[in-house]
Amino acid sequence: MSYIGIVFTFVFGGNVLFRYGAGTCSSSTETRAGGGGWPAFLTLGSVSLLSAALHSTIMRYVLYPLGLEALEPLSYVLVVVTLLYSLASVLAAGSGPFAEAGRIAKEQVHSCVVYAASLSAARGGFTMAEAAAAGFAAAAGWWCAVVLLDRILRRLEMEDVPPALKGAPLRFLSAGLMAMAVSGIDQILVSRIAG
């Protein structure tokens, strides 16, 4: 599959908000819709990119050959989270824009959005570069979906909605409708279109 196909698939068809419900996870408020702006998005994308590349490499060259696929979550926590948290801590210890990026990255390393992105990329059988592209695209897809969902919900707050649907039920209905809208986009469709 081409890089365009990978990006398109992971932004839409493999969207981690709809696939894993990662929109309700306890990621930092800076990574939510517009909360931290472009720096937070780029940091989330970078963390997801590195996470997906590391996780995919560990799966492909260590766990699969040894038949230890069941240890995937443990290897993710022991290797990927440890390395990324250490890197983010080093960045946060500095000063300037890198310190802010390191602080945001430390919060995002534990996010289920990052885990869902790296899990999707690792299970795609990609090379390290393709997995990195898939990880970044998955983070971008999550970000776009959260922004759209928040804008839809803000708009619905101005409408006359029955009291029983206000709050969580309306969020689930909106997310479900968005998920149905992109459910037809899968890897087979994208490979036919983008190669």
Tell me if 96 is assigned to some domain: yes
Residue ranges with strand state E in the chain: none
42-93 pLDDT tens trace:
888 888 888 888 888 888 889 889 988 888 888 888 888 888 888 888 888 8
Q: What is the pLDDT of residue 29?
A: 40
- Tokens 């995002």 found at: 108
Q: What is the pLDDT of residue 79?
A: 84
For residue 39, give the amino acid letter. Answer: P
User: Chain centroid to CA 167: how far?
Assistant: 24
Tell me if 105 is assigned to some domain: yes
Q: Which domain holds residue 125?
A: 3-185
Instruction: Please tell me the distance from the alpha carbon of residue 187 to that of residue 150, in angstroms, as a whole number.
Output: 27
Tell me if 164 is assigned to some domain: yes
- Tokens 């696929």 found at: 69
Q: In this structure, are residues 42 and 140 in contact, taking their beta carbons and an 8 Å threshold? A: no
Tell me if 12 is assigned to some domain: yes
Q: In this structure, are residues 81 and 109 in contact, taking their beta carbons and an 8 Å threshold? A: yes
Tell me if 195 is assigned to some domain: no
SS3 (DSSP) at 90: helix
Tell me if 111 is assigned to some domain: yes
Q: In this structure, are residues 20 and 147 in contact, taking their beta carbons and an 8 Å threshold? A: no
For 137-151, b/e burial (b = at least 16 CB within 10 A) is: bbbbbbbbbbeebbe
**Signed CA dihedral, 81, 35, 174, 135: sign only:** negative
130-156 pLDDT tens trace:
888 888 888 888 888 888 888 888 888
Tell me if 194 is assigned to some domain: no
Total structural domains within the chain: 1
151-171 pLDDT tens trace:
888 888 888 888 888 877 887
Q: Which residues contact 113 (CB under 8 A, 6 or more apart)?
A: 16, 22, 25, 27, 31, 44, 48, 139, 142
Please provide residue 33's backbone torsions phi and psi, each rounded to the nearest 5 degrees: -50, 105
Structure tokens at 107: 């919060």
Tell me if 191 is assigned to some domain: no
